[in-house]
Structures are given as C-alpha cells and as structure tokens.
Amino acid sequence: MTTPFPSADVVLKTGKTYAKDLTERVLWTGATAVGGVLVAAGPADMLHVSFWKSVGVAGIIAAGTLVKGLAARLFGDPNSASTAKGV
C-alpha cells in the first residue's frame, strides 16, 4: 500500500530546489530591472523617468528575462529555465 503523502526526504529536496530556483529568479530579475532602468533613463536623466521610458524599462526587463531563459536552456538543463545547478 502506498501513502498519498510524499516522504520527508522528497519534501525537503523539493523545498530546497524551489528555494534555490526562486532565489535565482529574484536576483536575475532585480539585476535585469536595474539594467533596464539604467539603459532607459540614461546617465544624465537618472532621477526623471517618464511614463514611456517606464514602459520601455518593462520591455527591456522582459527581453532580458527571455534571453536569460533561452541561455539557461541552451547551456543548462534543457527542461529548466534555471541556471542554478540541480534545478
């Protein structure tokens, strides 16, 4: 008879994998957002971002996330968008 609940080892491994994946995604998104703001605002206009520049930042962030996900698939596990080992 099998139990409907996973073993403690499976839960801990799954939790560890999830935490690793989540941490990586948060750090990459933050780095991409900062890069997007720097590119969209430019060095002379860092503190004044218009609506359309903000929309541009969102596009840059989305493009950066896409490139990162494609690179992770090409250079890492083809079944994961993560660059972290074991995810």
pTM more than 0.75: no
Q: Residue by residue, what is the 3-state secondary structure of 56-71?
A: HHHHHHHHHHHHHHHH
pLDDT above 80 for 46: no
- Please give the C-alpha separations between residue 69 and each of 8, 29, 59, 63, in angstroms, as whole numbers: 31, 11, 15, 10
Alpha helices in the chain (DSSP H): 8-41, 51-75
Q: For residue 64, give the nearest of 26, 33, 43 by alpha carbon.
A: 33
pLDDT the model gives residue 9: 64
Q: What is the pLDDT of residues 8-28, one digit of tens each?
A: 665 666 777 777 877 888 888
